[in-house]
A and B are shown apart, each in its own frame.
Chain A
Amino acid sequence: MTDNLWMLLAVLALSVVVGVWWRSRQGVVRTSDTGPAQRAGAAPWADLGLPHDRIVLMQMSAEICSACRQTARVLSEVAAADEGVVHVELDVAEHRDLAAALRVLRTPTVVVVGTDGTEVVRASGAMTPTQAREAVARARAEISTPAQNTGAER
């Protein structure tokens, strides 16, 4: 019985450690390194007809994912408040090839496409309004400064 109690406590402790670690990674905005390659060839989302004059928050979602609903609400509010931003939600089951090309491992994954038509930043997991606005601000900053510099360093 004592062994079983220790096993139960170990499971609880491990759950907390995994949960805290996982939560700290939710919606964190990361700079993408795929931009230069996409600039050279056609982007995998080329046939979706996304607007070129605006920043696109391209959200990859799954029907089983409740964080996707929450993130969709946040992103559509951010897009509604900012004329230069649109929100597009795509189901990974309907866009499997795109999800594979973008190496989407989790849902939701938000790929931010800049006005130059390349992926600028991305985030995985539920996004807060602050994180969504940060993603937009970083997409704007990356495009106004010459992006070749970051591409050449890699």
Chain B
Amino acid sequence: MTTQGIDPRGPRVGAGITAFLLAIVVLLGATPEAWGLLVLVTVGFGIGAVWGPGATWQGRLYRRWIAPRLDPPTEREDPRPPRFAQQVGFVICLIGVVLGLTWSAGAVPVAAAIALMAALLNAAFGLCLGCELYMFGQRLRARQSTSGGR
């Protein structure tokens, strides 16, 4: 079942909930409450980054409460793209959490704004920022393998 792919609506519902929480973080601004909420979102992204979006509390919520009320999915999706998106979200939010603690509380809404934009672009337009960045990593590795002398 898992190798067959996942219900593509699950990550989308999860991304919607996450986007809503990130919008609240932006609204709360440079406050301890915003930082706490960003920690919660970051932990969710961390779980999704390691075990896939289905393992997050948003994913569980979807399977437990939403999926039973919907028709079975007409197509299933490869779990790797949404998991990669979780990893991108995790890195952005983790930077916000760490900088919020060590440097300035102003970093919290800024990181939330960047993650929110990435989530919105992915959900509304299918633009995966991580996918656009992925090729840079591949090109760097190609350069290393050619200059490193095989």
**A binding-site residues for B, Cβ under 8 Å:** 1, 3-5, 7-8, 11-12, 14-16, 18-20, 22-23, 62-67, 69, 92-93, 96-97, 99-100, 104-107, 126
Beta-carbon contact of B27 and A1 below 8 Å: yes
Beta-carbon contact of A4 and B27 below 8 Å: yes
Contact partners of A19 in chain B: CB under 8 A: 120-121, 124-125, 127
The answer, among B23, B26, B131, for a CB contact under 8 Å with A64, is: B131
Q: A8-B26, A64-B130, A65-B134 are in contact. Are A23 and B125 (CB under 8 A)?
A: yes
Task: List B14-28 residues whose CB lies under 8 Å from chain A.
Answer: 23, 26-28
Contact partners of A93 in chain B: CB under 8 A: 138
**Pairs A–B under 8 Å by Cβ, sample size 26:** A4-B109, A7-B26, A8-B23, A11-B26, A19-B124, A20-B125, A22-B125, A22-B127, A23-B125, A23-B126, A62-B131, A62-B138, A64-B128, A65-B81, A65-B134, A66-B81, A67-B126, A67-B128, A67-B131, A93-B138, A96-B145, A97-B142, A99-B142, A100-B143, A100-B146, A104-B135
Task: List B95-150 residues whose CB lies under 8 Å from chain A.
Answer: 109, 113, 116-117, 120-121, 124-128, 130-132, 134-135, 138-139, 141-143, 145-146
Beta-carbon contact of B116 and A11 below 8 Å: yes
The answer, among A23, A92, A126, for a CB contact under 8 Å with B138, is: A92
Q: Considering the chains assembled together, what is the distance between the CA atoms of A16 and B82 in angstroms? A: 21
Contact partners of A92 in chain B: CB under 8 A: 135, 138
Chain B residues touching A, majority SS = helix
Beta-carbon contact of B120 and A15 below 8 Å: yes
Q: Which A residue sits closest to B138, measured CB to CB?
A: A92
Contact partners of B27 in chain A: CB under 8 A: 1, 4-5, 8
Chain A residues touching B, majority SS = helix
**B binding-site residues for A, Cβ under 8 Å:** 23, 26-29, 77-78, 80-82, 84, 109, 113, 116-117, 120-121, 124-128, 130-132, 134-135, 138-139, 141-143, 145-146
Beta-carbon contact of A64 and B134 below 8 Å: yes
Q: A19-B125, A106-B131, A126-B126 are in contact. Are A14 and B138 (CB under 8 A)?
A: no
Q: A62-B134, A66-B81, A99-B139 are in contact. Are A14 and B145 (CB under 8 A)?
A: no
Contact partners of A104 in chain B: CB under 8 A: 135
Q: Which B residue sits closest to A11, measured CB to CB?
A: B113
Beta-carbon contact of B146 and A7 below 8 Å: no
Q: From residue B90, how far is it (CB to closest CB) to chain A in Å?
A: 14
